[in-house]
């Protein structure tokens, strides 16, 4: 274990060291960039984080409003389905729970579709979306999140393969019936748990 004092919230996922690296993953100190298509240039003046669908309060936050929500720091690990993992990423941003409390999903909501600027999206169950280490991050290791890594704002979902961590996040659609996201439509797994190696559908 590192000698760092636990000032920050540690992701609750897999604290046990011997089980920390999911099966068939390789640890890298680098941080590869994986993007389908162009890296967008997001304008902060027109940026919105919009929550809609089966909710009591359909609402959108401007960048200023988003930045004035309570902020958290979480240290968590990245596991990409292409088999690289990167430990101890320090994220700063807004916890998913802050958004949920304000949007108030209706009782029938069971899934969330997370939407990016440009059309990319990924689906996950609501029960996973509420985990306390999930956040809308705008800083990584003390610096503003780089554009190629999803800046100004991306989701971080440590307990799932990293394709579920949508870069350039702009929307949350609350659903009672699940739909497949971008990679899920091409055969990636609907769940994506790295410890169960849920990489592709049908295995
Ligand atoms: N908007 C958007 N988000 C995205 C992607 C993408 O192409 N577009 N790629 C996903 C995939 S497959 C991975 S592995 C991670 C890569 O994040 P990184 O480039 O910061 O390492 O972002 C995920 N989020
Ligand atoms: Mo990926």
Which stretch of 10-19, 38-47, 151-160, 186-195 has the lowest confidence by average pLDDT?
Answer: 10-19
* Proximal ligand: closest to the CA of 182: 1
> How many A from CA of 181 to the centre of ligand 1?
13
**φ, ψ (nearest 5 deg) of residue 99:** -70, -45
Contact yes or no for 103/49 (Cβ under 8 A): no
Distances (CA, A) of 173 to 25, 70, 126: 31, 22, 11
What is the CATH architecture assignment of 46-71+91-190?
Alpha-Beta Complex (3.90)
pLDDT band per the 50, 70, 90 thresholds, residue 19: confident
Name the closest-CA residue to atom 20, ligand 1: 149
Rounded (to 5) percent helix, strand, coil in the chain: 15, 35, 50
Name the closest-CA residue to atom 22, ligand 1: 163
Residue 155 Cβ inside 6 Å of ligand 1? The answer reads no
R_g over Cα of the chain? 16
Residue 32 Cβ inside 6 Å of ligand 1? The answer reads yes
Quick one: pLDDT at residue 9?
Answer: 65
> How many A from CA of 84 to the centre of ligand 2?
9
Mean pLDDT computed over 87-94 = 98
């Amino acid at each position: 274990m590192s000698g760092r004092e636990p000032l920050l919230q540690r992701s609750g996922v897999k604290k046990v060291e011997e089980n920390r690296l999911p099966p068939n993953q390789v640890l890298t100190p680098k941080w590869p960039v994986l993007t389908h298509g162009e890296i967008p240039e997001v304008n902060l003046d027109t940026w919105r984080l919009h929550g809609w669908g089966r909710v009591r309060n359909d609402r959108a936050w401007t960048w200023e409003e988003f930045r004035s929500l309570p902020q958290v720091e979480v240290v968590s690990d990245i596991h990409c389905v292409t088999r690289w993992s990167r430990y101890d990423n320090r994220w700063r941003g807004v916890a998913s729970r802050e958004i949920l409390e304000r949007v108030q999903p209706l009782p029938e909501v069971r899934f969330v579709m997370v939407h990016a600027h440009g059309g990319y999206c990924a689906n996950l169950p609501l029960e996973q979306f509420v985990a306390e280490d999930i956040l809308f991050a705008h800083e990584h290791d003390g610096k503003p999140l780089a554009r190629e890594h999803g800046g100004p704002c991306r989701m971080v979902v440590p307990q799932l393969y990293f394709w579920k961590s949508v870069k350039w996040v702009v929307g949350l659609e609350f659903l009672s019936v699940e739909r497949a996201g971008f990679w899920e439509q091409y055969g990636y797994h609907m769940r994506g748990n790295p410890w169960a190696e849920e990489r592709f559908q049908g295995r």
